[in-house]
Structure 1
Amino acid sequence: MDFSFTPKVEELRARLLAFFDEFIYPSEAAYHEEIQRNRAAGNPWLPLQLLEPLKQRAREQGLWNLFLPRSERAPQGLSNLEYAPLSEIMGRVYWAAEVFNCSAPDTGNMETLERYGSEAQKTQWLEPLLAGDIRSAFLMTEPSVASSDATNIECSIRRDGDSYVINGRKWFSSGAGDPRCTLYIVMGKTDPAAATHQQQSMILVPAQTSGVRTLRALTVFGYDDAPHGHMEIDLHDVRVPADHLLLGEGRGFEIAQGRLGPGRIHHCMRTIGAAERALELLCRRVQSRVAFGKRLAEQSVWHERIAQSRCMIEQARLLTLKAAYMMDTVGNKVARREIAMIKAVAPTMACQIIDWAIQAHGGAGVSDDFPLAGSYAGIRSLRLADGPDEVHNGTIARLELAHYAGQAHG
């Protein structure tokens, strides 16, 4: 496996790093100030005006829609392996991916539409998402069941003539707080009597459809993540045309596996970038602070933590690149062990490094003066999002045990 960057990726990487130095890092304070102004004015759920000129610059510099491979509608899209180092850079600032139209859950939803949508569905929904004109949300998790086992999902999708009628309650529907969120991709059951993994389907629901009601914005460690938001949504007798179903009845699990593979690895790529940023902040902090007569950087406990952090980042990066390489060469299904491994490894690694960085900053580390507290909250939630650690570890263990099943014991 060759993980060296092609000249094309090297050039894009240099361009992206320069973009961060010139536009993203200098805008971090202004980003939070605009959110606070909106909040003080009584509406934190407003699209941030700061981002629009940045998005235009990203388009002009060819840094737009890089995540989507093999799409006629986004010919600039890269392979997973090519995209990995670029997504990592985007992860250094948690809101930056939106500037390049590469943020969750839109990327996963666009990949879903590209792979499984009809031409009419792509024209209606994929094209405006690729243009950045609308946003979207993915409605899978439910408050009343353990959604780590997706077979528990209770939301019903019932055929009624030329329509489907949807009833259920979803929560942690990330992105649904954004007023530009126009489309929900909803997972529910079309046939509870079918085989376990053929009961579920996915359907496209316009956000303004009658019967869709946002109940509340959920917080993550106290953050509401406005204007993005993680909403609890009630779907009551929501009626959509039958042609809004994706792929066909009973194909929901198949779509979910196709959607979650790329989505998971994108999260991991960005997580490595967040860990790199945390380590950078840690190193700068310990060199500037004196405690008990010497700089923190001269105290051996910080040598240990810095060394471990570098080792952990490099290990996670190599595993991510291997998973990306396999997804490109043998497909998501064959690469499911590597995808599960990196999804379990990367957020745990980043949480530890961010925690050490917070410790190095003392009280400032848990404040909003630095991005560490917010970064920790977001990345700790990734140990639940797209499947909890325990589910990924179970997948890894089953595949490992299957490898040795039936072999003679020594």
Structure 2
Amino acid sequence: MFDFSLSPALMDLKKRTAAFVREHVIPEERYLDEHTGFPQEKLKELRRKARAAGLFAPHVEEEWGGMGLSMREMSVVFEEAGHSLLGPLALNCSAPDEGNMHLLEMVATPEQKERYLRPLVNGEIRSCFAMTEPPPGAGTDPSLLHTTAVRRGSEWVINGDKWYITGAEGAAFAICMARTEDGQGQDSRQPRASMFLIDMDNPGFQIIREIPSLDANFVGGHCEIALRDCVVPEEAVLGAVGEGFKYAQVRLAPARLTHCMRWLGVAQRSLDIAAQYANTRESFGQQLGKHQMVAEMIADSATEIHASRLMIWHAAWVLDTGGNGKYETSMTKTYVAEVVNRVVDRSLQICGSHGVSMDLPLALFYRSARPFRIYDGPSEIHRTVIARQVLKAAAQAAQVEGFIPEGAAVSPKTSEPEHHGEGQ
């Protein structure tokens, strides 16, 4: 029997998160500036209130200062936090820090956890994840990774360029992906790569610029970075040498899903705003919401949000029960990213000139949500991976059942390389 009910404790947590965002976070949105971001002193105050409300760092184990929620529980809390672009920041569960915290929990040594994870969970510092590179370097194709790390005695020397690194400005450290000559990589189809913890004050790690972007509300922006003879000690290696792509999957599969959780909150709030407007706006002798085409947009949005929520919950269940969730999170990310864009677009359309104005948050949501279809893997890449898995399963079933079309060349060993998303 499938049980979609929320436990009394989780329902209480959902209500408390919703109330916190409504009463403390949304009123502060007027201070969010697309050029200068959100004032740090106000963010510190919101985080102080989130701690006092027992809502801080919901995704991290209690040992490191978090709430220790499961993925299913996170899906409920993150969605409520996502009703405001500031909500995940206030609860310290926003990208890219949230994904980095998860990776550090899974891979870092005890010493690395004390140095990087604990202050990150406490909200004392920020971080970034430096994997994406400018052409011809790695974007969604990991085999194009150009940044190199060469062992020199007890140190590593890293050289390369990184692109669109979210949150880099003002971060305390970066988790950087680089090609390494030694180490046993998990997959022979990919170059051997490793992850390195690099302090941002390292003279070889230079922020070239903050890239002007459609979504201008991320703390720390999206930055172009140059690594020039960036020297780090052996203890800066995160995990085992040569296992960087395996660790990237440890980070990216859950991160794809938590992005969906947060953005679904944006979609739900957009629909709420549009529905309220449609109930009060008079047009051609009746309420706007009673016009058939407007009602259709509202119905489609509600249906797609519901389907997205169920997909998120199922993928969360897969991860909670020990599955790698690769295909479930790919399908969910593709679907939810496109749903969020459609819902925000419809909501803006329903609200007309008010939707376009900055009096409502819909215009900001519209700009901010569009890149969701690109980062953590463009929809086209996810669809390719999903299709290959479906075709592989069909080929295997055909062999098992003894049904192979005449002239067909079928190999059950067909597989595809891992994919890695851009940004975030």
When the two structures are superposed, what TM-score results if normalisation uses the length of structure 2?
0.89
Name which of 214, 217, 234 aligns with 1:225. Answer: 217
The structural deviation recorded for 1:368 is: 2.3
Name which of 381, 387, 391 aligns with 2:371. Answer: 381
> 1:257-311 deviations in whole A, cap 9, x for unaligned?
0001111111001111111011011112222323344432121101111111111
Show the 5 A alignment for 1:153-164.
153-164=145-156
- Counterparts of 2:37 and 2:67, CA distance in 1: 31
Larger mean Cα displacement after TM superposition, 373-382 or 104-113: 373-382
Query: CA, structure 1 residues 113+226, in 2 after alignment: closer, same or farther (shift >3 Å)?
Result: closer
Residue of structure 2 equivalent to 1:26: 27
The reply on whether 1:129 has 2:120 as its aligned counterpart is: yes
The answer (yes or no) to whether the contact 1:218–1:224 under 8 Å persists in 2 is no
The answer (yes or no) to whether the contact 1:198–1:251 under 8 Å persists in 2 is no
- Counterparts of 1:243 and 1:147, CA distance in 2: 27
The answer (yes or no) to whether the contact 2:29–2:86 under 8 Å persists in 1 is no
The structural deviation recorded for 1:47 is: 4.6
- Which residue identity does 1:123 align to in structure 2? E
The reply on whether 1:213 has 2:209 as its aligned counterpart is: no
- Counterparts of 2:193 and 2:269, CA distance in 1: 40
How many residue pairs are counted as aligned between the two chains? 395
Residue of structure 1 equivalent to 2:264: 272
Show the 5 A alignment for 1:182-197.
182-191=172-181, 195-197=188-190
The structural deviation recorded for 1:56 is: 0.9
The structural deviation recorded for 1:409 is: 5.3
Residue of structure 1 equivalent to 2:409: none
- Counterparts of 2:24 and 2:212, CA distance in 1: 29
- Counterparts of 2:219 and 2:262, CA distance in 1: 20
* 2:14 alignment partner, SS class: helix
Show the 5 A alignment for 1:217-256.
217-221=210-214, 223-225=215-217, 227-256=219-248
Residue of structure 2 equivalent to 1:4: 5
> 1:328-381 deviations in whole A, cap 9, x for unaligned?
0032x2x21111110101010010010011112223323322211221222211
Residue of structure 2 equivalent to 1:64: 56
- Which residue identity does 1:290 align to in structure 2? E
The answer (yes or no) to whether the contact 2:308–2:335 under 8 Å persists in 1 is yes
The answer (yes or no) to whether the contact 1:220–1:378 under 8 Å persists in 2 is no
RMSD: 2.0
- Which residue identity does 1:212 align to in structure 2? F
* 1:67 alignment partner, SS class: coil
* 1:185 alignment partner, SS class: strand
Query: CA, structure 1 residues 46+2, in 2 after alignment: closer, same or farther (shift >3 Å)?
Result: closer
Query: CA, structure 1 residues 257+64, in 2 after alignment: closer, same or farther (shift >3 Å)?
Result: same
> 1:125-177 deviations in whole A, cap 9, x for unaligned?
00100111000001111111351112211111111111111111111111112
Q: 5+ residue gaps in structure 1?
A: none
Query: CA, structure 1 residues 2+74, in 2 after alignment: closer, same or farther (shift >3 Å)?
Result: farther
Residue of structure 1 equivalent to 2:345: 355
Name which of 367, 373, 377 aligns with 2:357. Answer: 367
The reply on whether 1:16 has 2:17 as its aligned counterpart is: yes
* Large movers: runs of 4+ above 4 Å: none
Query: CA, structure 1 residues 378+400, in 2 after alignment: closer, same or farther (shift >3 Å)?
Result: same
- Which residue identity does 1:20 align to in structure 2? V
Residue of structure 1 equivalent to 2:314: 322
The answer (yes or no) to whether the contact 2:65–2:118 under 8 Å persists in 1 is no
- Counterparts of 2:227 and 2:355, CA distance in 1: 40
The answer (yes or no) to whether the contact 2:129–2:165 under 8 Å persists in 1 is yes
- Which residue identity does 1:321 align to in structure 2? W
